[in-house]
Amino acid sequence: MNTTELKRLFNTPTTRLAATYLLIIMAMSIGFSIVFYKTSAQQLHRQVPPDALLVRPQDDQHKPDPAIRQFLELRAEEGRDVLRTRLIAINIGALLLGGGLSWWLARRNLRPIEAAMEAQSRFVSDASHELRTPLTAIQTMNEVTLRKPRLSLAEAKEVISHNTEEALKLKSLSDGLLNLARQEEIGVSARPVSLPDVMTEAINQVLPNAVAKGISIDEQVPKVSVLASHFPLVQVVVIILDNAIKYSRKGSTIVVTAERHGRYIRLHIIDQGDGISEADLPHIFERFYRADSARSNSQRDGYGLGLAIAHAIIRQMHGTIGVTSKIGKGSHFVIALPIAKTQDSL
């Protein structure tokens, strides 16, 4: 290991935090040892009696035998030596034990912060990558057009229409990012919300897409209220229904039902679409995640933000969202939300 590598190792946040912890432990241990040593040494010194008490009847001229004083002072010195050695041993022990403990504590405390920072930097790099694609398309189109000596009206219109399309993609991406940030930061306030009303509103929003693909939505949601926020919940249902339509064959059916499960209502949205592979399933609620089939199919444009937004909203409402799926058979999304106290019957 060369000096640069050594420097890098000692300059990590974990090492710096561990060193701070160790410094505090050692300052306390050494400080305590000094005070303890000084007090004990004073006490040992006080054990040696004054000359008057050392005089024995047989001593000449009432002077103590110097051998007695020497012996007592030697014993006190020995006592101080033993104390010093033990305190040094204790401090070496504290250094080794404290070093290990400080490292462990620093790792434990920094791990969640490092994970959050890693997620943040992955998010920024994913977002930049997604922003680059439409921007590069606009730039390339403009450069190619500018190089042409002459431009017909039809060609100009084609360029403008292409750039408008890319600008719309950018807008939808920035809307998605803003939406996600808002859900994660502000949160939603939960109150009793009628599930059938939410469904009606969501279905009305996705109906044109469903009709265009000849897909029917079979909605059988009972009259029930959940603890949620109306518009964000509509948004979640729209995201899932939109996906169900996007990834379903023409003429298929999407079924929406709900049932009571303990203190929760479970909303089921079941499609007969492409399904999601086992490898993709654990990741589809992650930001910017798109299954390979969706990524390779350019018609199904999306940024992999919809389900991340849905997940953030449902989490804010103290609910859960999950999915089971089989390739070629379809997907089954389940949203569980707390039942509102003012309950209509199920």
Question: Any idea of the CA torsion for 200, 201, 207, 210, to the nearest 10 degrees?
Answer: -80
Please choose, out of 35-43, 213-221, 230-238, 283-291, the segment that lies near ligand ADP by the rule CB under 6 A.
283-291
Furthest-apart CA pair in the chain: how many Å? 133
Judged by CB under 6 A, the residue of 87, 270, 290, 314 near ligand ADP is 290
If binding is defined by CB under 6 A, does position 319 make contact with ligand ADP?
A: no
Rule CB under 6 A: which of 242-281 touch ligand ADP?
Answer: 243-244, 247, 271, 273-276
Taking CB positions, which residue lies at the least distance from ligand ADP? 302
**Are 313 and 188 in contact, with CB atoms under 8 Å apart?**
yes
Task: Work out the burial of residue 283: count CB atoms within 10 Å of its CB; fewer than 13 is exposed, 13-18 middle, 19 or more buried.
Answer: middle
Tokens 């408008």 correspond to what residue? 164
If binding is defined by CB under 6 A, does position 303 make contact with ligand ADP?
A: yes
Least CB distance to ligand ADP at residue 121 (A) = 21
Task: Work out the burial of residue 144: count CB atoms within 10 Å of its CB; fewer than 13 is exposed, 13-18 middle, 19 or more buried.
Answer: exposed
If binding is defined by CB under 6 A, does position 331 make contact with ligand ADP?
A: yes
Nearer to ligand ADP, 183 or 243 (CB): 243
Please choose, out of 57-65, 90-98, 113-121, 290-298, the segment that lies near ligand ADP by the rule CB under 6 A.
290-298
Judged by CB under 6 A, the residue of 228, 294, 321, 340 near ligand ADP is 294
Rule CB under 6 A: which of 170-229 touch ligand ADP?
Answer: none
Q: Is 297 helix (H, G, I), strand (E, B) or coil?
A: coil
Tokens 């390779």 correspond to what residue? 296
**Are 174 and 281 in contact, with CB atoms under 8 Å apart?**
no
Nearer to ligand ADP, 190 or 239 (CB): 239
Q: Are strands 264-270 and 253-261 parallel, antiparallel or unpaired?
A: antiparallel
Binding residues for ligand ADP, rule: CB under 6 A, are: 239, 243-244, 247, 271, 273-276, 284, 289-291, 294, 302-308, 331
